[in-house]
Amino acid sequence: MKNPMLEAVSLLLEKLLLISNFKLFSSGAPGEDKARSTFQELNSFHRGDVLEVPRTHLTHYGIYLGDNRVAHMMPDILLALTKDKRLTQKVVSNKRLILGVIGRVASIRVDTVDDFAYGADILVNHLDKSLKKKALLNEEVAQRAEKLLGITPYSLLWNNCEHFVTYCRFGTGVSPQADKFCENLKIIIRDQRSVLASALLGLAAIICLGMASYTTLPAIFIPFCLWMAG
């Protein structure tokens, strides 16, 4: 049976991660000086390669399937609203993506290299070096990705695009990006100034909104939890 408290904490962490990396979703269209993927670049990709697209704060990942096709996990709120593939197969807009993250719904879909990269530079198999793990054979990697195509639950912390590609590439789904965020959050929690700041905010809420349960309980509970965690 799932623990409601753990689920609430998990949801809060995901929203914090979303807010802290909001620039990832608000990037505009690629500039005119950004060239589209060339024929030579496509020829340098091999079926089963991990394609990596650096963003402002996060990195997006996909598995190259060959023939200018990339399988990647994309949050998309439209998947929860319609089953019309003519609508859901269109390139996911920023608004659909953000609402999909909040709604925790996504799909592992196939797009062209251009649509996947969105004008950004592409790194190939960079995770092999950063994770220092032995990759599976490329064909097995591609087949794993193809078997997972379709709608899937989404979580910034527990099931994101990095979990998808590391599972396909190495056999185990991990996300160093999410791990790094959690480590940074631990540092903030352990800083006793966070306890003082939360206590002051709670006191200000009580003064402004009055002695109600929805102000008093958080004002006591949050600083206490931070104190104990620190």
Positions marked active-site: 161
Tokens of 37: 């993927």
Count other C-beta atoms under 10 Å from residue 219's C-beta.
20
CA distance 203 to 197: 10
Distances (CA, A) of 189 to 58, 192, 195, 229: 22, 7, 8, 7
Instruction: Tell me the one-letter amino acid at 44.
Output: S
User: Which residue in the block uniquely carries the two structure tokens 């598995």?
Assistant: 63
Measure the CA dihedral 220/224/227/230, to 10°. Answer: -130
55: tokens are: 């963003």
Beta-bridged to residue 60, according to DSSP, are: 53
